Amino acid sequence: MHASFLNRKSRRVLVLVLASTAILAAGAASASAGHGHHGFGHGRVGHGSASITSQPWGTAPDGTSVNLYTLNNGRGMTVTITNFGGIVQSINVPDRHGQVANVALGFSNLAGYVSDDYTTTASGETYFGAIIGRYANRIANGSFTLNGVTYYLNQNNGTNTLHGGAPVSQWNTKVWAATPISGRHSVSLELTYTDPAGTAARVPPMAPPAGNGFPGTVTAKVVYTLTQDDALRMDYTATTDAPTVINLTNHTYFNLAGEGSGGVQGQDLMINADSYTPVNANLIPEGGIVPVAGTPFDFRTAKPIGRDINSGNTQLVLAHGFDHNWVLNRSGSGLSLAARAYDPASGRVLTTWTTEPGVQFYSGNFLQGDLVGTSGHTYRQTDGFTLETQHYPDSPNQLNFPSTELDAGQHFNSTTIYQFSTAGRH
């Protein structure tokens, strides 16, 4: 159902150029200012004063000090982000009566995120709130071929490479360099990280001419911006010094009633997609782009997340719930509506916009009640959902999907916005 590509690479470059133009236009309004360690200045916003502050938040396993940054839009919304993994630790937004709750699942301290590892908990690695790189989602058999060379990656999810390979190579385990920025109508946190060539290599290494790990040193920047209209905007940019593949996302789990408050089955979801990519038992797309019509995957009209989740559909059985890539409807290459979630009880609405071609909607299937979250409650299956905007899983091996290749000299650009509001009776 997606457009056919005469030349996959040139289309991707066009998309990137158009997206970067949009970002530049939007960014022009926010002047950069204020560097330091505490109280990074503020711009007057609406009734209150937008600000970004930081506090020490412990020490990463590599000995680097980590901070927790609080972005406050001066209008009742705050977001806390740590430069460990670029993790969004909390998103505090009002309901229709002005009651603020944290709608992002997470941990109360750094230790929770450091031990978020598939070897230590039955729930596996959750990636709560994190930036996912260098390749979000799965790459089948931990290998792909680029320009005639087959690269072998660490297999950290059965035979797959998931979310960048072993934790040691994942971007969500890295301490990012952080720069707070105060604009006139927003506050931002700029995070940068350089990912060396050869990261996520297969052990033991494969003999040449095989490639080991992802090729190319990638320099990445992610800017989180909190706006006066309750949007958390994420602008991703990256360059490489050699051809590689890249797929970036944010892995926040939402519960619009508040994290730790129970299941999200009663929260409504609309996904702006006519089709999705069914998977095999390894959760790798089988290659088809299939209409959602007449299936539990039809979220074109909002419906409760739980309405069809127990339906016995083979795809839902394979994934233990929803854990699939939807092929987003879009016209043009700029920001486009991806999804809208609504909690009828609180009235909170989350609208997701993205420049990406797909969204992985994951219904927290692997949460097993063995993790204690931010406010002291355990997280169980379906206690949160993710809307991971991205390219389709396994794109490096599926040449009918939009390309994830990035060449030296090209600029990767991607933007996603999580916009909060309220609706319903007052």
Window of 120-128, 265-273, 405-413, 414-422 that interacts with ligand GAL by CB under 6 A: 120-128
Identity of residue 384: G
Least CB distance to ligand GAL at residue 95 (A): 27
Least CB distance to ligand GAL at residue 241 (A): 28
Between 225 and 360, name the residue whose CB sits nearer to ligand GAL.
360
Between 50 and 338, name the residue whose CB sits nearer to ligand GAL.
338
Q: What is d(CA 133, CA 164) in angstroms, rounded to the nearest whole number?
A: 5
- Give the pair of three-digit tokens for residue 243: 């051809």
Least CB distance to ligand GAL at residue 163 (A): 7
Contact 106, 374 (CB under 8 A): yes
Contact 88, 79 (CB under 8 A): yes
Between 54 and 126, name the residue whose CB sits nearer to ligand GAL.
126
Q: Are strands 211-212 and 149-152 parallel, antiparallel or unpaired?
A: parallel
Tokens 């990463």 locate to 60
The one catalytic residue among 42, 163, 251, 391: 251
Contact 225, 179 (CB under 8 A): no
Window of 32-40, 78-86, 122-130, 400-408 that interacts with ligand GAL by CB under 6 A: 122-130
Contact 218, 237 (CB under 8 A): no
| 38 a catalytic residue | no
| 388 a catalytic residue | yes
Tokens 């939007």 locate to 26
Binding-site size for ligand GAL (CB under 6 A) equals: 11
* Cα-based angle 156, 162, 163 (whole degrees, multiple of 5): 125
Least CB distance to ligand GAL at residue 343 (A): 22
Window of 95-103, 124-132, 147-155, 290-298 that interacts with ligand GAL by CB under 6 A: 124-132
Q: What is d(CA 134, CA 201) in angstroms, rounded to the nearest whole number?
A: 13
Q: What is d(CA 87, CA 69) in angstroms, rounded to the nearest whole number?
A: 10
Q: Mask 383-422, x = binds ligand GAL (CB under 6 A)? A: -----x----------------------------------
Q: Is 126 in the site for ligand GAL (CB under 6 A)?
A: yes
Between 162 and 187, name the residue whose CB sits nearer to ligand GAL.
162
Q: What is d(CA 33, CA 195) in angstroms, rounded to the nearest whole number?
A: 27
Which residues 339-378 are close enough to bind ligand GAL by CB under 6 A?
Answer: 360, 362, 366
Least CB distance to ligand GAL at residue 324 (A): 8
Distance, CA of 228 to chain centre: 22
Least CB distance to ligand GAL at residue 368 (A): 11
Which residues 309-328 are close enough to bind ligand GAL by CB under 6 A?
Answer: 323
Contact 400, 412 (CB under 8 A): no
Q: Is 277 in the site for ligand GAL (CB under 6 A)?
A: no
The one catalytic residue among 125, 259, 388, 405: 388
Q: Mask 152-191, x = binds ligand GAL (CB under 6 A)? A: ----------x-----------------------------
Distance, CA of 301 to chain centre: 23
Least CB distance to ligand GAL at residue 127 (A): 5
Between 53 and 172, name the residue whose CB sits nearer to ligand GAL.
172
Residue 178 pairs in a beta bridge with 191
Q: Is 128 in the site for ligand GAL (CB under 6 A)?
A: no
Q: What is d(CA 69, CA 34) in angstroms, rounded to the nearest whole number?
A: 14
Q: Return the closest-CA partner of residue 234 out of 300, 189, 169.
A: 189
Q: What is d(CA 26, CA 355) in angstroms, rounded to the nearest whole number?
A: 14
Q: What is d(CA 125, CA 139) in angstroms, rounded to the nearest whole number?
A: 17
Q: Is 127 in the site for ligand GAL (CB under 6 A)?
A: yes
Least CB distance to ligand GAL at residue 393 (A): 8
Q: What is d(CA 382, CA 335) in angstroms, rounded to the nearest whole number?
A: 28
Active site residues: 251, 388
Q: Which residues bind ligand GAL (CB under 6 A)?
A: 124-127, 162, 283, 323, 360, 362, 366, 388
